[in-house]
Structure 1
Amino acid sequence: MLNWGSYLLLSCIFSGFLFGSSMAQTGRPQQPQSETLQGSINQNPEIFTVRSFAIEVAKDESLRRRELALDSLLYRASNAGDTLAVLTIKLQKAKFYLELDNQSRALTIASQVHRSMESDAQLHFHSGILLRKIYFQLGAYQKSMDIHSGLDWTAVPDYWEARVPNNFLSTIYSKIGDSDRAIRIIRQSIDTMRINQFPYWELSFTNNLGVVYQGINELDSAWLYFTRAQKILTANFDSESNMDYDFVSGLILGNMAQVLALKGEHLRAIPLFKLDIQNSLKEPQTIEKHVNAIRSQLDLANSYTATGQFESAGKLIRNIKHELKTLNLSQALLDYWRIKRKLCEKKGDLQMALRAANRYNEIKDSMDLANNVQTLQNFQIAHESGQKESYIQEQDALLSELRDQAEQDVFIRNASLGIALLLLTLIILVAYAFRNKSSHSVSLAAQTKKIEEQSKVISKSLEEKDLLLREIHHRVKNNLQIISSLFFLQSKKIKDEKAKNIIREGQSRVHVMSLIHQKLYQAEHLNEIEFQGYLSDLAKQILQTNQTAKFEIGLTIEADEITETVELAVPIGMMVNELMTNSIKHAFEGRKVGQIRISLKRLGSMMTLEYEDDGRGVDSLESLNKEDSLGMKLIRLLTDQLDGAMEFSGTEGFKITIEFEQDK
């Protein structure tokens, strides 16, 4: 997961926020912010003024003034007849709309510039860079990679990315979870920038590599690269450099503090978080600094809570709540309620902790729904853009065909007079055939359009039903979690250990059903559950709910690539829950370690569930068959429900095998 400080550092560096143009004298690759504008300057002084002013307008903070100025520039360039200047200003407008999160309009304009035959090599390149970014934001990663592969790096040899053209792919690989390939590419980029003595980009890529390692929970590697980034910063820059040195230093220290906090070393993390906050509050103030200060204060409050400094944590939480009221930071607000709940639990205020948990779930539900809607809209924008491009390509092919036909007509008209009559007859026949073909094409196009409109209505209806069904599963999961929380709170007030164990068993069974609904709304297909991930998550959850600190249990999950419906997931999950709970309670008494293995295999239509532990086993298999506990009753009932057979063994440890038939 990309933390805020890491994201802000990368965005600042790549946008040129931290480094001014004078830094290029030390060997940094030039930023091509104005190359496409300057590359089209001709002898017309009015157009020269128009393009030069466009560069300055792009930096203006007044959005309305920028839009009006760009429209005015576009009008003047059109009247002057400079096509290249028109395309250049259009590209600036596309960037402007992307800043406003209007990807649809930005995509339309950038595509026009990219397809235009009037664009020169540099303008074609920079419009491709912008299209690549837009499709990446829309989640159309394959389309973004296709555009990236078509970029002509020779058109802009001084562009910084021309030295590491594959670095963009690391962003996509990291986004889709292919961390190994992302890490390999980023390491190559670091080596390239170090060899060419560009410390600015070496710093950025080194920090980025730490972010990737943190995202896959390899915290020691993340710490190594964050400390390297800090060394690169102090070795090559200082407070007199043309960059916000203190802010960048604070961001990297904040990243290091997050790693320490994730490792549980909160006492070491606290002073680093304080330095990050202190540097973010220095003048001149920007919205990026203000937001980073808030998020770092949330992290600091979390570390205060973990180390028992409740008064300091509470004071920070109160200050942050006031700040959040003035800013629209959904993720920060979600983190605030998560830390608030944790602080209340630590202080023993369970009623306030439950209120904080409910508020957290409400905000998370709203965010998830908004994200789902946004993802659907992004997919629709990318899909419609692809359809438009296909249509344009078809029209270009038709235009080319008509041009060829026209050339043939010219050749025929210049033929000898001796075949004039034959030529006239041929033209009449061709015209007649073309007329019939056009009439047929119009009818076919009307039918095709009608079918496409019906298909869109059906597709939209299915997408809405899918979204609503996912929302239902999500809310059922949340309600089950609330029930589980109520079990937990009730158990806190029960003194009788036997009654408390009964409450915990009920809580564990509710967890099984909650996890099923969670898997359903996260799955690609709403009616199917992938069992390898389901059993793994379920087993870890059961261990967390039931295991004490007296012994450590190793866990092995072996499941074929099986996806089945909820009708099968519920009984299997309940049986695994009862078996693991029994093992944790009785199998490992007097031991420090134990092993549990769960296997689910399919052979044809037969499925086999095996469960075994290396505990003390059972005294008699016959007594086990007569066992009258609620857990064994549930296992027998669930096995009967599946029309299955059950077999025990307990010579060394305990093993149960359940076989049943499952038609696909």
Structure 2
Amino acid sequence: MKKVFFLAYFFTSFGLIAQIQKVGGSFQYEEVFIDTDDFQSDYLEKMEGSLAELKSPSELRLQIINDLGYYYHTRNLTKALLIIEGGLNEARDMGNSYWEGRMMVSQGAILLRMEELDHAQSVLTAAIENIPEKESWLLYTNLGYVYERKGMLGEAFSYASKVLEIGEKYNDPKSIAMAYSDMSNLFWKQRKFEMALTFGLKSLDLFEKRGLRDLDYDFTLHLVGQFYVDLNEPLKALSYFKKSVEFGERYGFYNNLSDSYIALVNLQTDLGEYSEAISSGMEALRYAELLDNEFMIMRSYLALGKVSNASGEYSKAVGYLESSLANIKPNFGDKFQLGMVYEELSKAHENLGEFKQALASSKMSDKLRQEVFTKEAEDKIALLQTEMEVAQKENTIKLQQVELSKTRELQLFYLALAIVAIVFLGLLYIVYLRKEKYSKLLEKRNQEKEYLLKEIHHRVKNNLETISSLLSLQIATIESPEFKQIMEETYSRVQSMGMIHLSLYKKGNLKKVEMKQFFEELGGFIVDTFDAESRIDFKTEMEPISLDIDVAIPIGLIVNELISNSLKYAFPQNSAGRITVSLEEKDASLLLNVSDDGIGMMANSFSKGTGFGRELIGLLTRQLDGKMTLVNESGTAFSFEFVLNKAA
């Protein structure tokens, strides 16, 4: 952990106070939310006690003043500003430009939250020259907030992009997480909720990997909860709000607590829980008033006005919304929030029949919205987003190149070791090389054979497709029904064989065919050929089983004939039904079953048609040393048993 050490002579007596401990002859400070988060909400009071003991000028004292002032802005802005201004004077008296810059960043953050936007911008800009680039992410984050509050979303996004660039350059997960969090908030303000959620979750992932529950992690939890509210996922939203409130109460983050309760108002309002929403709004207002933050007070009254509108209490809504407007300064910069106040005020006046006031509020809301959501800002954000994504891809490529370079260096190292081994092993290594050469030659030949076999299957598949195409063209010109049926059956058989070769070529296994998938594809093809998809339910009731091609092709042709036969004869007058195929291995045999629930063998007879199909099935069954059984009950079922060693 990073710790700051100072010699004991700075202190006359000092025990264990807050995060400062005496170790041997020196003192060490564990930075809050940097080195540790293992403390409770009284950590600021303990730090104040520590500061009272640190009377001599030192960097440790300046560091504690800065942390104390910065984190006090989560509870009382006026006190926080006084602490930082005192620290700023001390840093200047010591001539310490680094801590002067750090104090100015904290001062800017506080002024921003006190609605002194121009003053905050001036202070933050002046601090740039005193802060090392590696640590400048907090400065640019707050400059982005200034522009966000001024309604200049494009400029705000450019600062978030700069923070991301700094984080990636120095591999700092905290600054990257902050950049993603700020980008998510800006996307949300543009009502791009899906994009906002994507960036918010990326931010939370980085915060959680960092392992410290700090102010910004807490705020991002609140943001993601709000995104889920707008995406109509209230249960997910509630879980994030609960986490945010839990951490806010533990560490006394009044600003985040006010934010989270405002978001809860929106959620509870959407769910119709109006009394709970009012209670949440009052909690938000309580924390905002403790914080003495006019912006949060203004937003709390806005939330109360929204829930009052939703519950039909329009007079109360007007009162809350006018209180919201009363808590802003003349130069209030956040046109987004101000526009929302006037939008709700317009609704309340309209429902009270006060149409003149409603119209005036509506016009003001539209004017403010147009000033915030300009096409220029949207285009700038889109451009910056594209540039950011390109930069991330380029960075990924660079990292891959570095890894590749390391891999090559490692390969060269192993090559050098191999050369040394050659020198020491001599003849033994030569024998090894010969064996290796023979092995590679054998592997190469196997690969060539495999390639040739794959090419054969590919060409057979192509030739069968050509034959199928020729048959299809020929069928279209045949007028004789009997001859046309013969050609269609031939076309189906060619397609069946072609499917097997296609399966071998595509799946990479050049010797075996997975029969369950093959039957499903074959059955689907034949049913489609007969234009029977809507009335015939084709099923394969079997587990996956792979067969050699010498077995797969005959079985495939048998199944092709039987499915075609069922479709032609088992379901007259386009009646509906089911055809089922199964294949299993049992006791050194292959058991094939093809059945339908059609009209049965009395009508579904092999005597119909050309008779070639019956002869083909018999020939193929004998080829596999099998036997066929016909069951003519509740349809027709053909069962085959093939001796496995002959079939294989």
Is the shorter-chain TM-score for this pair beyond 0.5, marking a shared fold?
Answer: no
TM-score norm. by structure 2 comes to 0.40
TM-score norm. by structure 1 comes to 0.39
Larger Rg: 2
